[in-house]
Structure 1
Amino acid sequence: MPGLTSLLADVRACNLCAGQLPLGPRPVLQAAASARILIAGQAPGRKVHETGIPFNDASGERLRSWLGISREQFYDASKVAIVPMGFCYPGTGKSGDLPPRPECATAWRRALMAQLGNIELTLVIGQYAQAYHLPGAGTSVTDIVSAWRRHWPHTVPLPHPSPRNNLWLRRNPWFEEELLPALRKRVAEVLAG
């Protein structure tokens, strides 16, 4: 099995689904073998595709706020791995970005997860990541996230931090009142070692 450095180089050179990507391939992820937190998200949006920096958008600002960490901590690959279900921007559909391309998880996810042996906390963001990382946990993001204690303290399902989810956040005040304080405390504990 190749080492993580070699594997990341292969992932970043991937063009498996180039023909289906409206802006072409640009795999975006960050990882180091020493990372203790894994952020398993969906797929990069257009702005992230343009910059090549994961969660470098309004969703990232909200996610960092949810976690109670700075940009510097968030982008420290030695502490935080960011490995979405799809590594490239999939394009836009009728109600937001298209789902992550399935080729990424099939081709790369198992090998990448095998290289991340120090993960103590996995944040599973959105329906596609939840279907992969928490199979059988529920049928809706609300069902899965509301049962967050079932997976605690090693895995925490989260809704996508997109501004498109403002209505979901208003309808589910328990998320900010109960889950986020516990999550911030857990993140701080993991990062402190």
Structure 2
Amino acid sequence: MEDVVVGRLDLEERVDEALAVQALAFGLDDDEIAIRRQIVVRHLACPGARALGATTEDGRLVGFVYGMPNDRAHWWSTVVQPYLRHRGTEQWLDGSFVITELHVLPAFQGLGIGRQLITTITDTATEPRSILSAIDVESPARRLYRALGYQDLARPVHFPSATSPYAVMGAPLPLRRPDRPRDPA
């Protein structure tokens, strides 16, 4: 497997490459990609929005993450807010850094790239916690989020036009790290 480096990503410049990763990782068709492109560009104009990419030595983008401080006026927040209110977890919308998208090409999944992307981006957050939404099925992504300390805040959450229900998850920052073996010295 090729070496992969995680670092700052000019997502506006590389949006088409990022959406190609998302399309393969998430199964999007051309119409969905066109809609998501507009959403990504709009998100990048939000205060505090930032992105990281995972690239191979030859510069090929194999994964990316982007997020921003949550704003209750954003579409995502307005959709999830009633579900969170019903569960008594609405306060998570305040003081949170939202992981908007996190995707890794299937051939590069299971190598710790997603973990490195999400922990690196949240390590730069000034907010005390992070929130995200994920398809509400047992998956490697949901297992990763739980391992990092994310817990279900509301489920099932139904987004307009989404065919699958989602779970909204939240974690205190910094994210939990896996136990590392102690140095015997």
Higher helix share: 1
Higher strand share: 2
Give TM-score scaled by structure 1 length: 0.35
Give TM-score scaled by structure 2 length: 0.36
